[in-house]
């Protein structure tokens, strides 16, 4: 399997202008030192309906009570189907209507009093849901952040459950632990903490950098792709990069794009050989564009966008690029991961070719649609891809891949993916995809949309 997996990592691309051949010989950056980073938070009404990957539920069913910041608000539904809530605990109920409501919070269980905004929704069957639409908005260094209450309990500090959004993005990723390493666009964060309602925010970190300066654009590109789809942006691991860089030097010395190294060949090293077998590699592509090219290939994207990657190994040498995102992993992944993500826009039109070819004989296909599960036996049972149009939806013919067929079945099973690869390049417009999947005997279904190009304003 190791040899097969190594072959999977080879990406063949049409040559473009080779970037500066000697960039990889720039001196390594000096060791960074962690320092306090300015960090401030304040409650505000969210202007975006945030999204998350996985089967995260952000609209919560209303039961016998809504508990916010330790304060219990009993609810009831009279025979009329209306929803009523007791906001003060004195037995006085007020009617809830679809839309937003501001609720005053008392001090309870260490939670500070204040207000929180909820959005209420009523389904056609009469069931009610709510979500928190207050966010903790602020600045981390000079970059905007928002902390969101994902589980709807009125507290914002639940690690791995609540979410954090960078910049003006729509996707949140799970709130990191206080000592977890992750990145903004400019910083590597090594410590982050605050209270349930944003009290005493504190952050520690350093300027985002890589040991070989020429690989920084590669890392920025990876994290840009991860942020688009709601996966935690991660830093470089210097030890991993040292071995990956050895493999890039080997490829440059031999002039060959390959994962395995041959003992005795120019530039051979055991560490470089091991790193190469675990890396996705490319040639003659700008470092800043490497991640975008790789995520346009069905199998390469799985390593760059995997949610359990904690750090990357990076290498660049004379037009050769290698990325190792497989070897430093968290114990648990957030799954499923949908790409393109629901409501994602500016989705590319075409797939990138790779050595492991999911569409042999068809070399001009559309951008792949994939869902990654925790099971190696995920099988598509139904699917549909449509392009919206003024005269109605147009069905798009696709190559389907899953654990039973299509593409490289061994890799479909290895990564736990199902996918659709349009048989022709995509056009600008709104696409709607529907899938029903048997995930190891458990049914899963989802319908979502994404936009190729920039969405048109109404």
Q: What was the pLDDT predicted at 25? A: 42
Q: Are residues 315 and 367 in the same domain?
A: no
Beta-carbon contacts of 159 under 8 Å, excluding residues fewer than 6 positions away, are 174, 175, 176, 177, 178
Beta-carbon contacts of 418 under 8 Å, excluding residues fewer than 6 positions away, are 370, 371, 373, 378, 379, 380, 400, 401, 402, 403, 412, 435, 437
Alpha-carbon span 153 to 131, nearest angstrom: 9
Is residue 384 one of the residues assigned to a domain?
yes
CATH number of the domain at 226, please: 3.40.33.10
Q: Are residues 149 and 65 in the same domain?
A: yes
CATH number of the domain at 414, please: 2.60.40.1220
Neighbours of 322 (CB within 10 A): 32
Q: Residue 248: which pLDDT band, with cuts at 50, 70 and 90?
A: very high
Q: How many domains does the chain have?
A: 3
Domain end among 279, 301, 324: 324
Q: What was the pLDDT predicted at 31? A: 62
Q: What was the pLDDT predicted at 8? A: 45
Q: What was the pLDDT predicted at 114? A: 85
Q: What was the pLDDT predicted at 79? A: 78
Domain end among 207, 239, 273: 207
Q: Are residues 295 and 345 in the same domain?
A: no
Range 104-113 average pLDDT: 61
Q: Residue 457: which pLDDT band, with cuts at 50, 70 and 90?
A: low
Helix (H) or strand (E) holding 105: strand 99-105
Q: Are residues 159 and 70 in the same domain?
A: yes
pLDDT digits (tens, 9 = 90+) for 398-436: 999 999 999 999 999 999 999 999 999 999 999 999 999
Q: Residue 24: which pLDDT band, with cuts at 50, 70 and 90?
A: very low
Q: Residue 21: which pLDDT band, with cuts at 50, 70 and 90?
A: very low
Q: Are residues 199 and 301 in the same domain?
A: no
Q: What was the pLDDT predicted at 122? A: 95
Alpha-carbon span 324 to 322, nearest angstrom: 7
- Report yes or no: 366 and 452 within 8 Å, Cβ to Cβ: no
Is residue 27 one of the residues assigned to a domain?
no
**The two three-digit tokens of residue 51, written as one number:** 């999204």
Q: Rounded to 10 degrees, what is the CA torsion of 361, 4, 308, 420?
A: 20
Q: What was the pLDDT predicted at 26? A: 44
pLDDT digits (tens, 9 = 90+) for 288-304: 999 999 999 999 999 99
Q: Residue 336: which pLDDT band, with cuts at 50, 70 and 90?
A: very high
Is residue 170 one of the residues assigned to a domain?
yes
Cis bond upstream, residue 437 (ω within 30): no
pLDDT digits (tens, 9 = 90+) for 215-246: 999 999 999 999 999 999 999 999 999 999 99
Query: What's the pTM?
Result: 0.92
Is residue 187 one of the residues assigned to a domain?
yes
Q: Are residues 43 and 67 in the same domain?
A: yes
Is residue 423 one of the residues assigned to a domain?
yes
Range 117-123 average pLDDT: 97
Q: Are residues 224 and 200 in the same domain?
A: no
Q: Are residues 251 and 274 in the same domain?
A: yes
Q: What was the pLDDT predicted at 22? A: 34
Q: What was the pLDDT predicted at 81? A: 79
Helix (H) or strand (E) holding 96: strand 94-96
Q: How far is CA 416 from CA 100, 142, 229, 271, 375, in A?
A: 40, 39, 18, 28, 5
Among 59-63, 85-89, 447-451, the least confident range: 85-89
H helices present in 229-340, as ranges = 238-254, 270-277, 290-295, 300-304
Is residue 20 one of the residues assigned to a domain?
no
List the domain range (segments joined by +) for residue 234.
213-324
């Amino acid at each position: 399997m190791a040899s097969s997996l190594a072959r999977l990592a080879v990406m063949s691309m049409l040559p473009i202008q080779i970037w500066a051949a000697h960039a990889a010989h720039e001196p390594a950056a000096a060791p960074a030192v962690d320092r306090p980073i300015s960090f401030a938070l304040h409650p505000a009404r969210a202007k975006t309906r945030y999204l998350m990957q996985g089967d995260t539920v952000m609209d919560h069913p209303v039961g016998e009570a809504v508990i916010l910041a330790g304060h219990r608000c009993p609810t009831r539904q009279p025979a009329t189907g209306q929803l009523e809530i007791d906001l003060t605990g004195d037995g006085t109920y007020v009617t809830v209507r679809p839309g937003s409501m501001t609720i005053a919070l008392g001090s309870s269980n260490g939670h500070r009093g204040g207000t929180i905004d909820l959005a209420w929704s009523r389904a056609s069957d009469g069931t009610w849901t709510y979500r928190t639409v207050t966010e903790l908005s602020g600045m981390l260094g000079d970059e905007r952040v928002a902390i969101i209450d994902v589980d709807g309990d009125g507290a914002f500090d639940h690690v791995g459950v609540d979410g954090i959004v960078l910049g003006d993005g729509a996707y949140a990723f799970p709130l990191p632990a206080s000592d977890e390493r992750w990145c903004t666009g400019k910083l590597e964060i090594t410590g982050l903490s605050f209270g349930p309602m944003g009290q005493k925010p504190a952050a520690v970190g350093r300027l985002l950098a890589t040991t070989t300066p020429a690989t920084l654009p590669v890392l920025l590109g990876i994290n840009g792709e991860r942020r688009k789809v709601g996966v935690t942006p991660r830093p470089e691991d210097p030890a991993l990069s040292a071995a990956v860089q050895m493999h890039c030097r080997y490829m440059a010395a031999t002039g060959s794009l390959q994962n395995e190294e041959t003992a005795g060949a120019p530039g051979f090293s055991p560490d470089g050989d091991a790193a190469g077998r675990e890396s996705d590699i490319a040639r003659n592509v700008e470092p800043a564009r490497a991640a975008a090219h790789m995520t346009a290939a069905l199998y390469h994207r799985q390593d760059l966008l995997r949610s359990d990657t904690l750090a990357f190994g990076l290498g660049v040498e004379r037009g050769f690029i290698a990325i190792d995102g497989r070897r430093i992993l968290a114990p648990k992944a957030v799954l499923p991961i949908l790409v393109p993500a629901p409501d994602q826009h500016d989705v590319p039109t075409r797939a990138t070719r790779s050595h492991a070819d999911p569409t042999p004989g068809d070399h001009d296909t559309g951008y792949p649609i994939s869902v990654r599960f925790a099971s190696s036996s995920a099988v598509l049972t139904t699917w549909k891809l449509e392009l919206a149009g003024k005269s109605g939806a147009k069905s798009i013919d696709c190559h389907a891949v899953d654990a039973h067929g299509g593409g490289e079945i061994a890799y479909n099973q290895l990564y736990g993916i199902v996918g659709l690869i349009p048989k022709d390049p995509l056009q600008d417009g709104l696409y709607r995809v529907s899938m029903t999947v048997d995930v190891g005997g458990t049914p899963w279904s989802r319908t979502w949309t994404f936009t190729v190009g920039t969405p048109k304003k109404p």
